[in-house]
Structure 1
């Protein structure tokens, strides 16, 4: 009895104690939820969310000022903000540590070429305006912030960002900010990654003094491309004071001239350096660069004043180079004068385009090369094509716009890894070799603007990965080989301005991914095949200046995305099909100089 009673009494004490603990827990929870602890939401393990309520509210306020085309913030519902898209929290404290608001969609853009320069024009109109909500400063424990690729409508760079002192990653690139970079950014002493790349060519962002940057010694990545640094006369010394720096991108920054003598080299970790399109890169700076033995990627495109002589010392010392871009520099001399000073070991990417270089690549060099662009130079020989078998890793070869003559050698078929081949706008003659069909990985083939003769080889049908094929402006004869219908991935096919005869093969309807087709200025006869109606993605169709006859097929009306249609200067007869009235995107229609009859359909 006593033992039993004692046990029962002990059990009661334990039960009573547990009840008191539960009540105390509930009271604490109540106080934290509705009293002095209202700003931080505390949860019992396993119940509710792990998100701080004040930070959740801040995120929703930030969202309210961001452009949302529909589903960008579709996951931003419920209490647990740590599970929202672009948000991450610390597993221990629950504080928001990551906010990725990068605009997730690709801009539309076009290329224009004027005065020896390519301009990239982005369509900003399709991106609605956003604002940086002041609630951002409530996320005091952020380590990662990405606001890139948004449209902040030329607003100033928010100074409040400088209060986020725990930031390690900051990306404000291409976000349409305007004005100066705030000097208080020096408070971000924990930054490893800083991307302030400006909007292309608009010259909105600027920095007049880079001294604040020297107070962020942990920086490993800096991108200030397209930021106007023309008044930052201390840029070189500040950059050199950040020994942890691994990646530096300052292209199109209007960098000021740096007088000699230069300070001792301090960037011992630098792996990528992009100073492209700055005119004040001096010979002294190139000699200074010869100390950058860790450098793997060197981009000096469009620096203007460079010479082969000034480059030789630096290039000879950079034994770890994997990428070298010296395009658009008006360099004069032999290609070998550059390559003799570049280690043939490990170089994978070489761009010497838009210079005045001549000569050839020394045999047996550059065995690891994957990308080679020698376009827009003064190269006159095709020896490089004959030695392509040695460049077994080559994927991209551009020799367009040179003075090359001679025939394409059959050895071109040895470079089976080639994905891009451009020999356009030269003086190449002879036939396209059957061996071209061995390049089964080829995605683009550019042979326009030459003196190529003979037939299109049937082996062209082996290039089933081709997306782009341009054989225009040559002297090609014969007819379109039936095997061309195997190229079902083609988006662009241009056979214009040749001497092709016979008819358009009905099997051309197999090329259902075509967007651009030009067969104009040939001697093609016969009917326009009805199968053209299967090319439903077509936007540009040019069949002018041929000997086509018969009626225009009604199926032409199925090309709903057609913008330009030219069938002029043929022998077409009959009436204009009414189905052309269904082509709502059509901008240009030319059917002149034919034998058409009847009236223009009202639907047009």
Structure 2
């Protein structure tokens, strides 16, 4: 009894102590001073916390103490500010060393303070009692200190959104009590450690938005308590381990934006608690496991942008078996899914977002789709779907907000008085056979911002009611129809026009006024007339893409075009524009493509073009521009295409083309008045694949260095690749004279290789080095003054499709190696001084006598002149001595000297023997020599 009474007194003592502790002074002076020093390093905290003025530090806002010992165990100095937003500069914070005197801290949060330029101190490892550590949004740099592994009591560790680099420390394996590890949004490298599986208490592992490489370790399957795994936005490779099926508590799995390949393992069917599955933008292949459809807790599945194959029938059958299907988001866009379109939609009553576009699904669209009353977004675009879309497909889609069924073989067939049950913001029905009338049901869509009814056979004009819709935002695409009529003079009721594509129609009249932002304007291939309105560039902010080509526009290019600082592409080609070029291009500093070809522009190329540092394509061909090429253009060192052909430009071809424009792939200066020699520096452009200097006044020899164009020395990739980034918006094209006609190359331009120097005054020999261009497809040196032989090695240019050496002064025989040119479709050697027999070969038999006329000493098929025999004449042998040496085998020179040596020996000693053997002959020979010497001395 005495012992029990004693225990009771002790319990009462502690209870009373705890009861009265609220009124006791518990703050430890040393820790109080440390807290004040620490807070002084975080000036932005003053916006959130009240001042610390009284003596009891345990009562300070943001501070918590142990009620028994009085030690500080909690410190929250987090800021409410997210630093460096919108260019705002905030106060710089600093971690005071006094922080590490608070040895009893269990909770520390200094998140959202500006600690830019600092590293996480290794002394953090001395706070061994920490259970919660939040250093997120602090802009820490450097590596993670391995001393963090000393914090064995840690349950919550967040370093989210810093600038931390280096690997995940191996010491993290000691954090066995860790429940949350958040290292997302840093620059962490290396692989996920294999011993990550030792963190068996972890519930949330967040490593997204780093530079982590390697595979997902199999030991990940040991983390059976984990509810959230986020490895997105890294560089992870390899397949998904089967052990991922061990994570039976997993609710959120995000592996998106990596390079993961292989199949989705069947073990994923074990994740019965899974609610969110994100594996989009990877290289996943194989079919979708049927077991995935049996995970009835899934609300989000996103497998878009992979290489998944197979059908969807079994997967949708599994989904429909779920007693209570929770599926909210289904994304399988941009894969290789095939087979029939699913028909089981009735049970997916919660489905709100359905993305099946950009696949290979076939068959008709089931009307059961119209029963998804919760559906807000529907994307079926770019498949092989067929059949009719009727009113039944939309019957219950009362919440439909966005729809894209374009680019299939569907036909939308609804009545003229149909009223859609939805109010959509975006409708895309490109290539859906809506015509010939403009769809009247659009009038009911009062909040419509995006409408794509391109390529629908519409031959109607815009109805008047369409322009009265007056929404706040407009993206309109009616391109590739047969629409006609005039546009209203003003579209100002649309508060913001973002994309306006009326191309490839028959609209006429003036270009309307409009308010816009980031405008993509395409009015090309119509019959618009009048001048380009100056107000377009004054009242419209930030035009990005402007296509006005192939119209009937006249007048000058307004100088206000230069005010568009966001302008990236301007295409004014094929109009009747005149006058001089504006001299203000430096203001439109983001310009990438300029095409003002085929107009009536005159004057000089202004120097301000040289301020366009990002310019990649420049087309000014087919105008009347004069003067020289301004030297400032050399500052446009990202140029890929320059076409200044068919103008009146003069002067020398600048040598800086070769030294400054190293990315150039197409250079066309044909049909101008350029004079002087061809600068050999052009061969310094490694990427050049189309060179056209034809029809100028160039003279001198062809530089031997032209055999060093590296992009012409090997065959270009057969796959058509864009010349530059913006080729998606602009179809690059260059005209090449070959095969007896003008060829316009667009899609295949990236694989074309061509040199055209025709119709100049070039002279001298054709250098043998030109035959190093084994990938060259078109070579035209006609109408010059080239002399000498055709290089025998020309047969090595195996990719040649067209060869024109006509109207020169070439001599000698046609090299027999020409018969090796198996792709040759055009050959013109006419009007030279070639002699001898025309070589035979399979490809050469396809050419007519027009390839050889004007060479009176040629003979053989297809000419009517027969060769007398196969032996060359004395003249032809002399003229072809150099060629015959090439026709010897590689040891011809050795055999020459082997034959020469015995002849010299027998000839010399035969003569000496005849002189020296008999005495009388020897005396007569010496007397003759003596008389000859005397005769020279006397003279």
Q: With the length of structure 1 as denominator, give the TM-score of the two structures.
A: 0.75
Does residue 158 of structure 2 align to residue 98 of structure 1? no
For 1:579, the equivalent position in structure 2 comes to 632
List per-residue Cα deviations over 1:379-413 (Å, max 9, x = no partner).
213433x5444212222211223322121233232
Does residue 198 of structure 2 align to residue 143 of structure 1? no
Does residue 273 of structure 2 align to residue 218 of structure 1? yes
CA distance in 2, matches of 1:286, 1:149: 38
8 Å contact kept, 1:473–1:497? yes
8 Å contact kept, 1:409–1:433? no
For 1:561, the equivalent position in structure 2 comes to 614
Q: CA deviation at 1:499?
A: 1.1
For 1:8, the equivalent position in structure 2 comes to none
Does residue 389 of structure 2 align to residue 330 of structure 1? no
CA distance in 2, matches of 1:416, 1:400: 20
For 1:464, the equivalent position in structure 2 comes to 516
Q: CA deviation at 1:548?
A: 0.5
Q: CA deviation at 1:454?
A: 1.2
For 1:447, the equivalent position in structure 2 comes to 502
Match of 1:403 among 453, 457, 461: 457
CA distance in 1, matches of 2:409, 2:551: 30
Does residue 104 of structure 2 align to residue 44 of structure 1? yes
Against the structure 1 CA distance between its residues 359 and 74, is the aligned structure 2 distance closer, same or farther, given a 3 Å change threshold?
Answer: same
Instruction: Specify the SS of the correspondent of 2:546.
Output: strand
CA distance in 1, matches of 2:316, 2:615: 61
CA distance in 2, matches of 1:261, 1:501: 58
Does residue 529 of structure 2 align to residue 477 of structure 1? yes
Map 1:186-225; keep pairs closer than 5 Å.
Answer: 186-197=245-256, 204-207=261-264, 209-210=265-266, 212-225=267-280
Match of 1:172 among 226, 231, 237: 231
CA distance in 2, matches of 1:231, 1:272: 19
For 2:601, the equivalent position in structure 1 comes to 548
Against the structure 1 CA distance between its residues 304 and 576, is the aligned structure 2 distance closer, same or farther, given a 3 Å change threshold?
Answer: closer
Q: CA deviation at 1:73?
A: 5.8
Question: Which has the higher Rg, Structure 1 or Structure 2?
Answer: 2
Does residue 341 of structure 2 align to residue 274 of structure 1? no
Does residue 477 of structure 2 align to residue 422 of structure 1? yes
For 2:353, the equivalent position in structure 1 comes to 297
Map 1:517-532; keep pairs closer than 5 Å.
Answer: 517-532=570-585
List per-residue Cα deviations over 1:310-366 (Å, max 9, x = no partner).
511x2243221112222223333443255344x241111111111123345553214
Against the structure 1 CA distance between its residues 268 and 52, is the aligned structure 2 distance closer, same or farther, given a 3 Å change threshold?
Answer: farther
**Greater length-normalized contact order (CA 8 Å, ≥ 6 residues apart):** 1
Does residue 321 of structure 2 align to residue 254 of structure 1? no
Q: Which runs of 5+ in 2 are unaligned?
A: 1-27, 29-68, 74-100, 111-119, 127-137, 149-155, 163-171, 658-939
Instruction: Specify the SS of the correspondent of 1:556.
Output: helix
CA distance in 2, matches of 1:568, 1:149: 47
Does residue 141 of structure 2 align to residue 74 of structure 1? yes
Provide the aligned C-alpha RMSD in A.
Answer: 4.0
Against the structure 1 CA distance between its residues 538 and 135, is the aligned structure 2 distance closer, same or farther, given a 3 Å change threshold?
Answer: farther
List per-residue Cα deviations over 1:484-530 (Å, max 9, x = no partner).
11223111111111111010111112112111111111110001011
Q: CA deviation at 1:286?
A: 2.0
CA distance in 2, matches of 1:261, 1:514: 46
Against the structure 1 CA distance between its residues 240 and 510, is the aligned structure 2 distance closer, same or farther, given a 3 Å change threshold?
Answer: closer
Against the structure 1 CA distance between its residues 508 and 328, is the aligned structure 2 distance closer, same or farther, given a 3 Å change threshold?
Answer: closer
List per-residue Cα deviations over 1:87-131 (Å, max 9, x = no partner).
8x9xxx994613243578xxxxxxxxxxxxxxxxxxxxxxx9743
Against the structure 1 CA distance between its residues 523 and 129, is the aligned structure 2 distance closer, same or farther, given a 3 Å change threshold?
Answer: farther
Match of 1:373 among 416, 422, 428: 428
CA distance in 2, matches of 1:261, 1:95: 39
8 Å contact kept, 2:309–2:337? yes
Against the structure 1 CA distance between its residues 203 and 405, is the aligned structure 2 distance closer, same or farther, given a 3 Å change threshold?
Answer: farther
8 Å contact kept, 1:512–1:534? yes
Against the structure 1 CA distance between its residues 540 and 346, is the aligned structure 2 distance closer, same or farther, given a 3 Å change threshold?
Answer: same
For 2:544, the equivalent position in structure 1 comes to 491
Does residue 160 of structure 2 align to residue 85 of structure 1? yes
8 Å contact kept, 1:177–1:204? no
Instruction: Specify the SS of the correspondent of 1:383.
Output: coil
CA distance in 1, matches of 2:243, 2:273: 17
CA distance in 1, matches of 2:256, 2:483: 42
Against the structure 1 CA distance between its residues 178 and 426, is the aligned structure 2 distance closer, same or farther, given a 3 Å change threshold?
Answer: same
8 Å contact kept, 2:499–2:519? yes
CA distance in 2, matches of 1:393, 1:584: 46
Instruction: Specify the SS of the correspondent of 2:466.
Output: helix
CA distance in 1, matches of 2:189, 2:403: 40
Instruction: Specify the SS of the correspondent of 1:331.
Output: strand
Instruction: Specify the SS of the correspondent of 2:508.
Output: coil
Against the structure 1 CA distance between its residues 382 and 100, is the aligned structure 2 distance closer, same or farther, given a 3 Å change threshold?
Answer: farther
8 Å contact kept, 2:262–2:286? no
For 1:125, the equivalent position in structure 2 comes to none
8 Å contact kept, 2:215–2:239? yes
Match of 1:353 among 401, 406, 411: 406
CA distance in 2, matches of 1:101, 1:48: 19
CA distance in 1, matches of 2:550, 2:372: 47
Q: With the length of structure 2 as denominator, give the TM-score of the two structures.
A: 0.50
8 Å contact kept, 1:519–1:544? yes
Instruction: Specify the SS of the correspondent of 2:492.
Output: helix
CA distance in 2, matches of 1:574, 1:331: 57
For 1:230, the equivalent position in structure 2 comes to 286
Q: Which runs of 5+ in 1 are unaligned?
A: 1-17, 19-24, 30-40, 58-70, 105-127
Against the structure 1 CA distance between its residues 192 and 446, is the aligned structure 2 distance closer, same or farther, given a 3 Å change threshold?
Answer: same
For 1:506, the equivalent position in structure 2 comes to 559
Against the structure 1 CA distance between its residues 368 and 99, is the aligned structure 2 distance closer, same or farther, given a 3 Å change threshold?
Answer: same
CA distance in 2, matches of 1:248, 1:325: 15
- Equivalent residue pairs, number: 517
Q: CA deviation at 1:256?
A: 5.7
Instruction: Specify the SS of the correspondent of 1:177.
Output: coil
Against the structure 1 CA distance between its residues 428 and 56, is the aligned structure 2 distance closer, same or farther, given a 3 Å change threshold?
Answer: farther
Against the structure 1 CA distance between its residues 435 and 143, is the aligned structure 2 distance closer, same or farther, given a 3 Å change threshold?
Answer: farther
CA distance in 2, matches of 1:186, 1:230: 18
CA distance in 2, matches of 1:134, 1:503: 68
